[in-house]
Structure 1
Amino acid sequence: MILALPYGTMLPLLVLCLLSPLLVASVDPPLKCIQGNNATQALTDCASGSDACVTIKNENALTGVTFTTTFYTCGGNDYCANAFTVTIGDNAYLRYTSACCTTAYCNANLKWGVPPASSRKNGLVCSTGCFTETQEPCNGGKVSCTDAENTCISVTGKYGPKEDAKFILKGCGTSNVCEFKGKNVLINGTSYLVKEATCEKAKSSSTNHILGKGSFLLLLPSISSILLMKFLS
């Protein structure tokens, strides 16, 4: 049996058949990036919507034990060219940097370090420094700010895949910490979603009323190198 289609139907179908190879060919292939941590990195296709290969480095001593991690992933603007530090007490801090590039597997070759750990106080203080990964209140004593930290921060949100996994972070921070509100931050390979973030200027301590200009300069090399890599990629 031969089925004949009207001419008015056949012509659009013929055009679609001729164009379909071109339509398929015009779809960009997924970006390929290194993903995983230092020990488990692998070459992987990125999910749809990812437009950059990312390398994230952090030094996390918020709980009294220091973890230094390099994490590789796919991402977008949320993860690109970020650098900040937070201090919640003596030898209790978080230092974080990230950089991006846009060619296949390029994040395997991004070389830089986290802002250097320092206990040099800059004369500013915040009333509370604490970190908790429970729904209990986050309580802590006065904390002295170091280096470029000139802001008292209070951050709340969730971490990991579970909605009831909450965290609270309070202390001294660099002034850009509140820019992460509504964004994800990868720390030790775990995603922390910042739902709320408030920032206030830190106050001078009784022993030092001036924030030295040299404090901010200590963080500039890390930030500058990250921004340079971003614009050159």
Structure 2
Amino acid sequence: MKMTKWLSLLLLCVSLSPGLSLKCNFCTGLPYNCQESTQLCTLNHTSCMSQSFTVVEAGNVTEWTYKGCTQGLVCNETIYINLGYKRTYISSQCCTTDYCNTGTYYARVPVASLSCAACEGNNVSCASNQTPLPCAGVQDRCMTINTLYVNDSSSDVVYKGCGTGNLCGRRLEYNSGGVRVYTEVSCCGSNYCNQGIKSVTVDETPNGVKCYGCNETGAGECNTLKTVSCTGNMTTCLDIVAFPRGNTLMRACCSKDVCSGLSASVLLQASQKLHCCQGNMCNNGDITSYFKSGSTTAHRSMFLIGGALLVLLKGLRTLL
């Protein structure tokens, strides 16, 4: 009897050993920028879960994600609550191996007969040449992507169509020293609500941050360090690096949204890395120090055109 009790106690201790526990990614935050850490699950937690919330109220969309350990009671389901003035969608998915709940996860939002205005051009052409576009799948928002390019002269690019909330509200801005690019992604939730023309907001007030800037075309532009004075929302320095060669393709001031989640993935090819940092001249080309502390790495393939954020716009077209 004593031996049986001793054996049972030993088995219990082994089962409680941290080395045998399930490990999950843990975070709470925006779906596209949820900073993951490790959570060690307890015995009753048998799964890793990703759960996301989408709330649509008065045309405004709020999204939130939770990742962590779970008992598996609310796995792989979507709940839809419609209060008339507010719609709430909650989706979850579960898996049972260490760190399997990785990646961006959004609530599954069904769409019922939403139609949006569609065009590709600029503010002038899109004002008079919009076509109706029925949305499909989980496309629950009408989207407008406005970009303003500022150099010696200014030009704008506009895309309109259907989309999801993954990119809504992003401000994607950068200044490489030769050109300043300002992109705004706006969304709304009713039929043809994106027909209007909207100018991009530009803030060129110096913010005190200085970064190195260049745009490599093959002529060695990024071999010379050039200082750029950052303005407005551009409070971050970036360096886009080709791998495995390690040469810089572009340095610039940028807004924080350029460095986050889906924005960064669309911006880059799989053979490139994006290093973002805070502090004057921190994008100095010291590759070893960049990627010891971490960086944003592309998780999907995309084409790069001239190192500019026109890439981002071309990529966004595939998401509309």
1:142 equivalent to 2:142? Answer no
Alignment counterpart, residue 115 of structure 1, candidates 198, 201, 204: 201
1:177 equivalent to 2:267? Answer no
Alignment of 1:66-215 (within 5 A): 66-89=154-177, 92-109=179-196, 112-116=198-202, 118=204, 120-127=205-212, 129-131=213-215, 139=222, 141-155=226-240, 168-179=249-260, 180-182=263-265, 184=266, 196-203=273-280
Distance 2:220 2:165 in 1: 32
Amino acid in structure 1 at the alignment position of 2:264: K
Distance 1:144 1:112 in 2: 27
Query: CA separation of 1:121/1:36 partners in 2, compared to 1, >3 Å: closer, same or farther?
Result: same
Shift of 1:177: 1.8
TM-score, normalisation: structure 1: 0.55
Number of residue pairs aligned between Structure 1 and Structure 2 = 155
Structure 2 stretches of 5 or more lacking a match? 1-109, 243-247, 282-320
Distance 1:137 1:41 in 2: 42
Query: CA separation of 1:28/1:77 partners in 2, compared to 1, >3 Å: closer, same or farther?
Result: closer
**1:149-176 alpha-carbon deviations (Å, 9 max, x no partner):** 221013479xxxxxxxxx9542001223
Q: Relative contact order, CA 8 A, sep 6+: which one is greater? A: 1
TM-score, normalisation: structure 2: 0.41
Residues 54 and 99, structure 1, Cα contact 8 Å, conserved in 2: yes
**1:49-75 alpha-carbon deviations (Å, 9 max, x no partner):** 32211011110237x653212321211
Amino acid in structure 2 at the alignment position of 1:32: S
Distance 2:241 2:136 in 1: 28
Structure 1 stretches of 5 or more lacking a match? 1-26, 158-166, 185-191, 205-233
Distance 1:30 1:193 in 2: 34
Runs ≥4 residues deviating over 6 A: 134-138
Residues 147 and 182, structure 2, Cα contact 8 Å, conserved in 1: yes
Distance 1:156 1:66 in 2: 28
